[in-house]
Structure formats: structure tokens, C-alpha cells
Amino acid sequence: MKAKVSKAVIPVAGLGTRFLPVTKAVAKEMIPIIDKPMIHYIVEEAVASGIEDIVLVTSRHKNEIQRYFDYNAELEDRLVKSGKAELASELKTIAESCNIICVYQKDPAGLGHAVGCARPVIGDQPFAVLLGDDLIDAPVPCTRQLINVFEHRGTSVVGVMEVPATEVSKYGIVGGVPIDDRTLKIDRMVEKPKPEDAPSRFAIPGRYVVDPAIFRHISETRPGKGGEIQFTDALAALARNEGLLSYRFDGDRYDTGDRLGYLEATLVFGLRRPELRDGLVRLMRAHLPS
């Protein structure tokens, strides 16, 4: 029987070059969608999925992420004294929601290397990986959906979504043998293929639940372009040796690492806020050409 999935890895050591110049001073993951930083939504998904320990793989220049999930007794006390006890309680809840553990990726050697840095904390347990650029809004958290598949099938699983043929070159694409209408047994993984070379239109947007054997495959993966250890290569080895499934999750994904995707997520989440919706609609109408 597989162990309970109670740990997750969130790599946050990247430089965020697509959001320069602001990321020269602010971690990309701390850029807000309305009034919560991007990383808050990712951590919320993990916690709602039953994750208890979250390993942030970060760099020494990104301490503001760790501070965000820590207590700030002085600020909380000031808010309570100024009649904002509800806001103070919300800030305290952020710190209490889970156990945040930071490890440092000393060299920017790729996503596979970043995940491998978490090995001393994860140990010999299965775990989830959530990429901070991908905000997935779903009735049942995407990570929870993958954990359910892992617990049912006993095999590592990656979340996938179907994309148009014109967009397969932007993603890692999987191919394999169908198990049911949402699940494939993966036998091929191609990173950013041409449309004519793609084994399917099922793309991996950044959610995984994996067996700890992935660490061995990461350690055996040779660096590729730019000296980086690719997580996709380690996953392909996992598929060949221990097995790997893909699961077409239910939910809407926003690429918040892209400026247009970030704006889309901001609009969608803003329109859901009762106190913002009417004003936001008025602003949009006022600025759209007639």
C-alpha cells in the first residue's frame, strides 16, 4: 500500500525574467493577483489537497516568500488594536495553514535539480510537485485529484490538459495507452514538439504526484542544454522503470508566468469578488473602444 501523500515541493528559485524589471526587486511569486501573491494560491491548493509539509525550493535572494508565510506578531497586534481583528486573523491563518520548509537551490541547474534539492526533507515518501507559474482553479483541487489517482492506481501521475495542435510546441506532451477516459499509461514524453511530431495534444502544465524513486532518476539524469537537469527526463525514466500515468484534470489553468495569462487570472478572480465585480466591469467598459 502506498504511503499517504502529505508533502509537496514548490520550486520558487527562478529569476522571473518574463516579468522584468519588477522581478529585479520582487520575487515573481510575490506579484499579487488582486491582494494575494501568486504563491498564496499555489499553497492554498496544496493545503486544500491535504498537504501538511510544503518544501519551498528557493534562492537566498527570495527571503520575502518565507517571511510571507511566517508570523508577524507586531503587525497582527497593531491590526487588532485598530479594530481590524478579522484581517489580523486572516494573516495568522496564512502562517498556521501548513508547515513551510525552505531549502536552497544554490545553482540554477534546472527544474529536475530543484526538485532533487528537496530530497533530504521528503525522504522516502511520495510527494506532490506544484509549479508556481500555473494557477489551476478547480472545484476539487488539481493536486487532490492527482493524489486520488495515485492512491487508487498506486502509480505516479502527472496532470494534463488538452491543448490545440498549434500550442503543443509550448509544452511537454505525453502519449500512451488509455486506461479510462481521463487516464493514460504514459509511454512517450516529448518536450515542446512540433505539431507533426506530438504524440497527442495532452500537455503537462505543472502538477505531479510522484514516487520517491524520482530522486534516483534525477540523480542519474545527465545535464542537457545550458547545463540544466530536466525534470521531464527524470519523469521519462520513471515511466520506463516504475510506471507513470497522466490524468486529464478537471479545472481551468492560468499561466501566470506569462503577462497575458497573469492579466487573465487577475480579471477572472477580480470578477468573482462581489465587492470588485461591478466596478471592474464599469472600468472595462469605459476603456474598451466603442
Region of 220 please: left (phi>0), alpha (psi -120 to 50) or beta: alpha
pLDDT at position 13, please? 85
pLDDT at position 273, please? 93
pLDDT at position 94, please? 67
How far apart are the C-alpha atoms of 31 and 39, rounded to whole Å? 8
The residue type of 117 is C
Q: Determine how β-strand 172-178 pairs with β-strand 183-191.
A: antiparallel
Scanning the chain, the segments in alpha helix (DSSP H) are: 38-48, 63-68, 73-81, 85-96, 111-116, 119-122, 142-153, 213-220, 231-241, 259-271, 274-287
How far apart are the C-alpha atoms of 105 and 14, rounded to whole Å? 10
How far apart are the C-alpha atoms of 135 and 252, rounded to whole Å? 8
pLDDT at position 2, please? 60
pTM of the model: 0.91
pLDDT at position 71, please? 74
Query: Which residue, 260, 237, 231, is CA-closest to 9?
Result: 231
In this structure, what DSSP letter does residue 122 have?
H
Q: What is the dihedral of CA 186, 249, 110, 107, to 10 degrees?
A: -140
Where do the domains of the chain lie, and which CATH numbers do they carry? 7-257 (3.90.550.10)
Name residues whose C-beta falls within 8 Å of residue 134's C-beta, 6 or more positions apart in sequence: 205, 206, 207, 253, 254, 255, 256, 257
Each residue's pLDDT, cut to its tens digit, for the chain (290 residues) gives 567 899 999 999 887 788 888 888 888 898 999 989 999 999 999 999 999 999 999 987 778 888 888 777 788 778 888 888 887 787 777 677 778 889 988 887 889 999 999 999 999 999 999 998 899 999 999 999 999 999 999 999 999 999 999 999 988 899 999 999 999 999 999 888 899 889 999 999 999 999 999 999 999 998 877 788 989 999 999 999 999 999 999 999 999 988 999 999 999 999 999 999 999 999 999 988 86
